[in-house]
Amino acid sequence: MSDSTAPPSPIAIRPSLSELFRAFAIVSISGFGGALPWARRKIVEQKGWMTAQEFNEAFALSQFLPGPNVVNFSVVFGTRFGGAAGAAVALAGLMGPPLIIVIVLAILYAQFGDLEALSRVLAGITAAAIGLLIAVVAKMAAPLFVKRWNSGPVIAIAAFIGVAIMQWPLPWVFLGLAPISVAFAWFKR
Amino acid sequence: MNDNPLIALAGYFALLSLFAVGGANAAIPEMHRIAVEVMHWMNDRQFADMFAIAQVSPGPNIIIVTLIGYHVAGFAGAAVATAAMCGPTCVVAFLVARTWDRFKDAHWRIAIQAGLVPVSLGLIGASAFVLARSADNNVYAGMVTAVTAIIAFATRINPLWIFAAGGILGLSGWL
């Protein structure tokens, strides 16, 4: 593997549509539990299609947008290098192979979902996956609780209570809290 | 909206796709509310099973909508649910990608992004809570969750190992 030895050139290498498809297909099937680290490795380190800075900006945009971040990223990246066709191809590469795999799993689950052993394995995986979610929350929360005057924790706890305890529909909770939170961020600077 | 499951899938997931700030992990509580509480498409255990399958499948975790869609209405359901979850947000991403350079340094853009972080934090926390309520039915499962949380917080271990350990513990009949 000869990675990151190429000098950073001002003119980025432009991937063809089939390269785009292949890159996102590989990223998506290698990316267990989150495809973004793989996307960075492939796009920045191996292919040199973007600098680290450009990647971070495209990633920031993907986070800014609603919906699944990796899906957004594939569209943002594809658009940039191939317009609408590029976006479609990158998205198809990202979603195609996992879709086939997961459909097979869905068929198997419909057949064997009641099997005692399978249900025990899945229960174990779920218990572990919940732990991962808690770790994500802890990592995200740490910086919010550092500063003294900060609306972050209040908003986060309110969102949690609204969705988890009150079980209100997400759009209501979002429309109730997001404007307040954004307003705080706006005036804080 | 309730008569045809395909229309319900399309409507709910298309709407969810625009409000899921923080990605698939933030969308779990709303999916659970719709699939289990409102539409009664499945029970808690089936929802938790699909969450687990989506976690260990390669690809984006949002693929759980494909599993839900298939469960509700077969291949057509899988296709409709996936397209509804990805479609609206992809259109927005496409439109914004072309104008991003104009506003990426704008104050309002930075404020929106910073303001949404606490909201997604609360939603992801709610995901953990909703899943734990439907899946962690005994002390051992709760312990696996707690230990996993600590390991994942303190190390950068590949989640696959954590899933493998959880699956083996589950198979052994402890949970």
Which span out of A11-15, A58-62, B1-5 was modeled with the highest average pLDDT? Answer: A58-62
Provide the Cα torsion B48, B52, B53, B54; round to 10°: 100
Alpha carbon of A111: minimum distance to chain B alpha carbons (Å) = 11
In this complex, is the C-beta atom of B33 within 8 Å of any C-beta atom belonging to chain A? yes
Contacts of A59 in chain B (CB under 8 A): none
Residue A96: closest CA among chain B residues belongs to which residue? B59
A125, A135, A155 ranked by CB distance to B55: nearest: A125
Q: Note which residues in 110-139 of chain B have CB less than 8 A from chain A.
A: 110-132, 135-136
Three-class secondary structure of residue A1 per DSSP? coil
Nearest partner of B58 among A21, A93, A123, A41, judged by Cα:
A93
Q: What is the pTM (predicted TM-score) of this model?
A: 0.91
Mean of pLDDT over chain A: 86
Provide the Cα torsion A81, B113, B26, B153; round to 10°: 100
| Tens digit of each residue's pLDDT (9 = 90 or more) over A43-63 | 888 888 988 888 888 888 888
> What pLDDT, on a 0 to 100 scale, did the predictor assign at position A1?
39
In B99-142 the beta strands, taken as DSSP E runs, fall at none
> What pLDDT, on a 0 to 100 scale, did the predictor assign at position A8?
46
> What pLDDT, on a 0 to 100 scale, did the predictor assign at position A2?
41
Work out the pLDDT band at A34, boundaries 50, 70, 90.
Answer: low
Q: Taking a C-beta distance cutoff of 8 angstroms, is the pair A58, A73 a contact? A: yes
Distances (CA, A) of A118 to A99, A132, B131, B171: 21, 21, 18, 8
| Tens digit of each residue's pLDDT (9 = 90 or more) over A84-119 | 999 999 999 999 999 999 999 999 999 999 899 999
| Tens digit of each residue's pLDDT (9 = 90 or more) over B32-52 | 999 999 999 999 999 999 999
Contact A64 B112 (CB under 8 A): yes
